[in-house]
Amino acid sequence: MAKERDHHPNKDKKLLVGVIWNFSTELKLIFMALLVIFTLATLLPFIPSSFSLSASDFRFCISRFSPAVPVNITSTAVNVTPEKTSTEPVVLDNGVIKRTFTGHGSAAYNFVTMSAYRGGVNSFAVIGLSSKPLHVYGHPSYRCEWVPLDPTQDPVSTTGLKILTDWGYGRIYTTVVVNCTFPTISAVNSGGSLILHATTGDPSLNLTDSIPVLTESPNSVDFDLYTSPEKKKKYDYLYCGSSLYGNLSPQRVREWIAYHARFFGDRSHFVLHDAGGIHGDVFEVLRPWIELGRVTVHDIRDQERFDGYYHNQFMVVNDCLHRYRFKAKWMFFFDVDEFMYVPEKETIKSVMESLEEYSQFTIEQMPMSSRICYSGDGPARTYRKWGFEKMAYRDVKKVPRRDRKYAVQPQNVFATGVHMSQNLQGKTYHKAESKIRYFHYHGSISQRREPCRHLFNDSRVVFENNPYVLDTTIRDVGLAVKMFEMRTIGDRLLRTRQ
């Protein structure tokens, strides 16, 4: 039996060799097919992206290599008259070769609509984006048409006033606010549609897009809102935030909203715009305030498709301005790493009453360090403090100017910007530093970690060749803000992380 077992391996080898020999031709074909497949897989990443196979290419392959399958191919003769192009160089009289450039297709949209709002009995505002090169090198224009739903009323039209609000900061797209003021329009609440006719102004290809931007159903407009606006104000103060993006710190957002909900009082509201920054942890911080009706979040992530300045923040703040224009007495524009402050003997109400004669006032910046912290409470307790309690060193380096933020009475403003409005009626006040200021903790909102990397316990510090002084203005109200949050929403956010 042992001898028979010794002979079995040799028999198996002979059997295997015999099988391979009998099927050698088929195996060669298989190996060749695999080699071709692996070769194509290796070369595929290097084939240009513009390379493609059309349906006609596949039909050709089928008809040539699959004669057993009948394929009917119908060819249609098309007479194409070649266009005369103007791209041929022309030699001018002075010997200069004149080159020309001809555009084809559409590289950017003529107009991207975000919103349109009624601004009065006979006026409207349309907010959107348009091609930046079109406005820099061309002469685009806009015409507004109001088409009543009542067939007995005739449509009316007027020239739209174009307002470019981004101070030249636009990228591929620039923000455009079109003001449509009609000489006469029926105040009968019968409904209608606003059509924006956007003309490119291109001398060689002058195209017009007719865009329905707003439709009002019958009896949907409260005209008292425009004739007696003071009686209809829902809020005393409304915050219009810029686009929020990046990996924001939930704890810093928690501190900011609690501080300002207390600062502005019950008749205030906060409008935040999510361009990707309000992730799940941040939303959980905002949820209690949303449920109380103190915060509204707008998801604007879709605007990322249109390359504008800073996530199209100029368009976003103008939409906020016109959306809430008749709902608030004052509207504030600043960022979520900035904290408003009025002197101890003042209140936000008394300050705003003293500035009522102005349509706009700007607010001076107090720059705070977001890298060095005050350790007067001891290192262990310092790390348990809120951000604005421990980031207490103010930058006192002398510079020509620092950015300002601002507030407006929105019913007097036609379009706005990030640091101030240049399109309003009424006066602007620039000397309000004794009444109101804002403390700026630059970069602190985008750090999802403990902000304190360097601790000091001195009233004056020089850090990285920059002078700082201890300023406890915002720090001193920390306990009051925490108690306010606890009374208002309870302990829901106690476990919030950086």
Give me the residue spans of the domains in the chain: 111-226, 232-489
Q: Which residues is 460 bridged to in the sheet?
A: 469
Cβ(204)–Cβ(139) below 8 Å: no
pLDDT score of 160: 95
CA distance linking residue 179 with residue 213, whole number of Å:
13
Predicted model pTM = 0.79
CB atoms < 10 A from the CB of 31, how many? 10
- Output the pLDDT for position 43: 67
Query: Which of 143, 160, 329, 323 lies closest to 234, judged by CA?
Result: 329
CATH number of the structural domain 111-226: 2.60.40.10
The pLDDT score that the predictor gives to residue 68 is 40
Q: What is the DSSP letter of 492?
A: T
Which phi and psi (to 5°) does residue 81 adopt? -95, 115
Residue 395 parent element (H or E): strand 393-395
Helix (H) or strand (E) holding 49: none
Neighbours of 136 (CB within 10 A): 11
Tokens (6 digits) for 301: 């992530």
Q: What own/partner pairs with CB < 8 Å and gap ≥ 24 does 424-428 have?
A: 424/359, 424/360, 425/359, 426/358, 426/359, 426/360, 427/357, 427/358, 427/359, 427/360, 428/358, 428/359, 428/360, 428/361, 428/362
Q: Please report the pLDDT score of residue 6 as a whole number.
A: 47
From the number of C-beta atoms within 10 Å of its C-beta (0-12, 13-18, 19+), residue 162 rates as middle
**What are the respective helix, strand and coil percentages of the chain, to the nearest 5?**
30, 30, 45
- pLDDT for 69 equals 40
90-91 and 97-98: which strand pairing?
antiparallel
**Mind listing the pLDDT tens digit of every residue in the chain (498 residues)?**
444 444 455 555 555 555 555 656 666 777 777 777 877 767 666 655 444 444 444 333 333 333 444 444 444 444 545 545 455 678 778 766 675 666 656 778 899 999 999 998 899 999 999 999 888 888 999 999 999 998 888 899 999 999 999 877 878 899 999 999 998 776 678 889 999 999 998 777 778 999 999 999 998 888 888 887 677 789 999 999 999 999 999 999 999 999 999 999 999 999 999 999 999 999 999 999 999 999 999 999 988 888 888 899 999 999 999 999 999 999 999 999 999 999 988 999 999 999 999 999 999 999 999 989 998 877 778 778 899 999 999 999 988 778 899 999 999 999 998 889 999 999 999 999 999 999 999 989 988 888 888 889 999 999 999 999 999 999 999 999 999 999 999 999 988 887
Q: Tell me, what amino acid is at 260?
A: H
Name the region of 465 (left: φ>0; alpha: ψ -120 to 50; beta: rest).
Answer: left
Same fold, 111-226 and 232-489: no
Task: Tell me the C-alpha to C-alpha distance, in Å, between residue 376 and each of 119, 222, 368, 474, 480.
Answer: 53, 57, 17, 15, 19
Q: SS3 sequence, 94-125?
A: CCCEECCCCCCCCCCCCCEEEEEEECCCCEEE
Give me the residue label for tokens 């004794």.
434
Which CATH code for domain 232-489? Answer: 3.90.550
Which residue has tokens 């109001």? 146
Q: What token pair was written down for 379? A: 């290192």
Model pLDDT, residue 337: 95
First-to-final CA distance of the chain:
77
* Bridge pairing between strands 161-164 and 338-341: unpaired
Cβ neighbours around 473 below 10 Å, total? 17
pLDDT, position 22: 60
Residues 6+ positions from 158 with CB-CB distance below 8 Å? 143, 144, 180, 181, 182, 183
DSSP H helical segments within 324-428, as ranges?
348-354, 379-382, 387-390
Amino acid 354: pLDDT:
96
For the chain, the C-alpha Rg in angstroms (whole number) is: 34
- What's the pLDDT at 103? 64
> Residue type at 357?
E
User: Which of 182, 161, 164, 181 is CA-nearest to residue 173?
Assistant: 164
Residue 481: per-residue pLDDT: 96
Q: Identify residue 205 by its one-letter amino acid code.
A: L
What CA–CA distance (Å, rounded) separates 14 from 409? 97
